[in-house]
A and B are shown apart, each in its own frame.
Chain A
Amino acid sequence: MSIGRDDVLHVARLAELAVRDEDLPRLVDQLNRIVDYVAQLDRLPAEAAADPQAGESDPDDPFLPGPAQVTLRDDVPGPVPLARPPAEFAPEFAEGFFLVPRHGAMEDL
């Protein structure tokens, strides 16, 4: 698989990153280099990836580095407090609201 210009523009759009035209060729090269590199996982035979040693376990059961299951919190109010209110860290804030440039109520992005 190789990444083209359009692929880079597509993922940049998904990631909401502005990419300058002059940076694009270099970015295409570098991303291809990385994708080619990680593609060496394809050298692992499919059977190996399915791990015969694991026996009955599903190869798609994730490896979990931490706890095997999540612990839940009681439904008791008590958030981690804010030492400073949003007004002090927001880039634009008025009358209790964060503000962004207007986009219509019925518009998608």
Chain B
Amino acid sequence: MTSIPMGPQAALAAGVLGALSLGLMRKPPALALRALAVASVAGAMLLAVCSASDGYSSAIVLTDSKSIGWQYLIYLGALPLALWLDGEDDVLVALFLGATLGMSLLASASNLPMLFVALEFMSLPAYLLVARSRPGTRGLEAAIKYFFAGGVAGALFMLGLSLYYADTRSLAGSTDLTPLGQAGAGLMAAAALFKLGAFPLNWWLPDAYEAAAPEVSGFLSTAMKSAAVLFLMRLCELAPQAGFIAFLPAVGAVTALAGAVMALRQERLQRLFAFSSVSNAGLLILGVGAWAASGRSSEGVSALLFFLGAYAFMSNGTFAFIRYSGLETRAQLKGRGAAMPAAAAAFTILLFSLGGIPPTGGFMAKLLLLWRAVDADLYWPAAAGAVSALISLAYYLGMTRELWLEAPHGPEPKTGPGAPLVIACAVGVVLLGAAPWLMSSLSGALTR
């Protein structure tokens, strides 16, 4: 296969331009817009496969195995939104593809300024996506909050980068750091933790996830989270001596616990899954910490890759169920299993998987990640991560109980589109659990 440098990014950029051009028509054809979104994301994925064989690199971008692996994750997380996006809205399609392009650039960035550009490229469309995906002022309010948080993160990164540059005179990483450089690296890491929603920098996240349309929340919690994890990993690579790395396991453990505890009392489903996503982000930060502590082993990378891959199915599937079922609160879940057996059964599988019950992909994901932590002698953070999984089981089981074991009351909700996606995600999760080597051999074959 011949590879095209920056091919995936080019495909996405073409998609953005195409969507905007279609928008010039008086009435943009919905079908064409949706097809364009799917084609761009699928095309990017295909081109990423093609470019996997060579290690292209320039001053600002590179194609290594991590960059390719994470691009798959990003496109995997984005594909459901491409399928279910509101095709009437050309701006929404352009914003979606623009955000995906930013993530894709982030996955390929090889120096610090490029990371910053990609970060902003990914974030700006995401704010608008949240505001625009659902009519009403709440989305707007959440988007402004999100924008503000993102602005702070961007500013922190910029400040950190200047301090770091003042110390090292390098934009592509350095090993020796004075306290000035340490402070700079720490600030840059804070920006990444902001994006991941690490406790206590997670205050913007539940509002944004709750206000956005469910499928957009799914996109943010999968593709965006994957990109942010890679962002943190690149920082660890570019500044391997940075002091912040030693704190990552503890930050991750605290975030995992805090997210799980805060999700316990949530009544609204989207808000609950937002906190659940914070908890999972905590496990991922712990995973990055373990990976960095064990000399950046390839096992650590594949554990993170597996976790994010399984999470792409779980989170997109649960948000797709929320969209399909039209249920908004836990009280409305009660007794609805019988009315929509296939989708509800798939949702239940996803819940068990999120709770880490075997034989599902979520179990394997948690196992591999915690194993990395134990292997790096991070016993306490690993135990905290395990306890967070236990706490989270209380609400995943609680929802299972409401869905199947309790009596329904109130009017039956109107179901929307998306049932096949929920079922497909559940099948994906079961496959990952029953045959976990599928993922490793697949990603092994694709990244070579």
Q: Do A and B bind each other?
A: no
List the interface of chain B (C-beta within 8 A of A): none
